[in-house]
């Protein structure tokens, strides 16, 4: 399936990927530098000696850390795919297929995200039980340390002191990643790989693997890869990137809202990581219904296109 109708011949899709990577590196560097300058303006030159505290999410510098996260999302994920589309002399809305979403398909995306939660919980538990062979114990220890560090940063980010903090978190964790990461991975990477190999399914799974790997959280690799594949199929079947953006937003916004609720009710944030604990058949039913809903989404999208 073609997401766009080219007005002119595009450059080689592999070159598009390289160009996208180049723009991401440039955008990440420029906006990272901008974030550092803003932080120096806020905290003064004394920040230089405490820079490790800033990038580790220390509560003293959490505002500065959030500035880095927000600008990083813009520079690394949102602007590069836009720059690629403009380089191809195409409208961004056409290049990445920002077609108007259909109400039925929007509702289906919301249902899919809710129904899939038990199955995704099972994949999280499965992934967290990963044990490497004895000769890789050093690597396993390093992976666990990285995971613990990432978790500490996550807890620091989602802590709220006011309703404004909640809004900022929602923008930083849900809105910007949903737009930026879907533009970058589904719009940019998946689209180019599809064109390169003429295999949408291969492109979806390769992109999902890259999407998960880029987060560098080893004990969440499998569920994040499956999420990425799910967003990829929403994009592919729906013919509009809005469905993937919506699914991504719902997934991230749920975590932000859950953390906000827990803090309002004086519940420790680490409780959010504890599984609800469905019976085995609950996870199985969730998986079966999720697959059936994706099939229904695909069929409904095809019917909508025929009506158009």
pLDDT at residue 300 tops 80: yes
Q: Work out the average pLDDT over 124-153.
A: 81
**Percent with pLDDT over 90 in the chain:** 64
pLDDT tens sequence across 230-257: 999 999 999 999 999 999 999 999 999 9
The pLDDT value given to residue 266: 83
| CA dihedral (280, 217, 184, 106) positive or negative | positive
pLDDT tens sequence across 81-106: 999 999 999 999 999 999 999 999 99
Question: Widest CA span of the chain, in angstroms?
Answer: 63
Half-sphere exposure of 251 (CA within 13 A, CB side): 26
pLDDT at residue 259 tops 60: yes
Q: How far is the C-alpha of 12 from the C-alpha of 97, rounded, in Å?
A: 19
Q: Which among 156, 150, 178 is positioned nearest to 252, based on CA atoms?
A: 178
The pLDDT value given to residue 272: 64
Q: Work out the average pLDDT over 167-177.
A: 95
The answer for 26, left when phi > 0, alpha when psi is -120 to 50, beta otherwise, is: alpha
Q: Model-level pTM?
A: 0.91
Contact 26, 77 (CB under 8 A): no
Q: Which residue's entry shows tokens 């807890």?
A: 155
Residue 6: band (very low, low, confident or very high) from pLDDT cuts 50, 70, 90: very low
Q: Which among 206, 201, 183, 178 is positioned nearest to 14, based on CA atoms?
A: 206
Q: How far is the C-alpha of 185 from the C-alpha of 208, rounded, in Å?
A: 8
Contact 157, 66 (CB under 8 A): yes
Cα 42 from chain centroid? 29
Q: What are phi and psi of 205, to 5 degrees?
A: -75, -35
Residue 55: band (very low, low, confident or very high) from pLDDT cuts 50, 70, 90: confident
| CA dihedral (146, 72, 168, 223) positive or negative | negative
Q: Which two tokens stand for residue 266?
A: 């004086």
């Amino acid at each position: 399936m073609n997401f766009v109708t080219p007005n002119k011949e595009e450059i080689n899709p592999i070159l598009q990927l390289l160009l996208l990577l180049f723009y991401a590196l440039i955008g990440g560097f420029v906006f990272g530098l901008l974030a550092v300058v803003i932080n120096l303006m806020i905290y003064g030159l004394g920040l230089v000696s405490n820079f490790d505290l800033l990038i580790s999410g220390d509560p003293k510098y959490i505002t500065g850390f959030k500035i880095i996260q927000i600008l990083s999302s813009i520079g690394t994920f949102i602007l590069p795919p836009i720059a690629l589309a403009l380089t191809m002399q195409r409208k961004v809305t056409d290049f990445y297929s920002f077609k108007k979403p259909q109400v039925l398909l929007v509702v289906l995306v919301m249902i899919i995200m809710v129904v899939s939660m038990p199955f995704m919980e099972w994949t999280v538990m499965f992934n967290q039980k990963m044990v490497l062979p004895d000769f890789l114990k050093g690597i396993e220890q390093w992976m666990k340390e990285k995971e613990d560090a990432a978790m500490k940063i996550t807890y620091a980010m989602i802590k709220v002191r006011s309703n404004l903090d909640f809004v900022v978190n929602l923008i930083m964790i849900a809105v910007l990643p949903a737009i930026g990461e879907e533009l970058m991975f589904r719009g940019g990477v998946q689209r180019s790989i599809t064109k390169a190999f003429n295999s949408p399914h291969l492109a979806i799974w390769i992109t999902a693997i890259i999407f998960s790997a880029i987060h560098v959280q080893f004990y969440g690799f499998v569920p994040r890869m499956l999420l990425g594949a799910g967003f990829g199929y929403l994009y592919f079947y729906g013919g509009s990137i809005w469905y993937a953006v919506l699914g991504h937003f719902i997934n991230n916004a749920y975590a932000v809202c859950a953390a906000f609720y827990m803090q309002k009710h004086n519940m420790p944030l680490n409780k959010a990581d504890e599984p609800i604990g469905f019976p085995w058949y609950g996870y199985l039913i969730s998986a079966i219904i999720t697959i059936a809903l994706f099939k229904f989404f695909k069929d409904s999208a095809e019917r909508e296109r025929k009506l158009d």
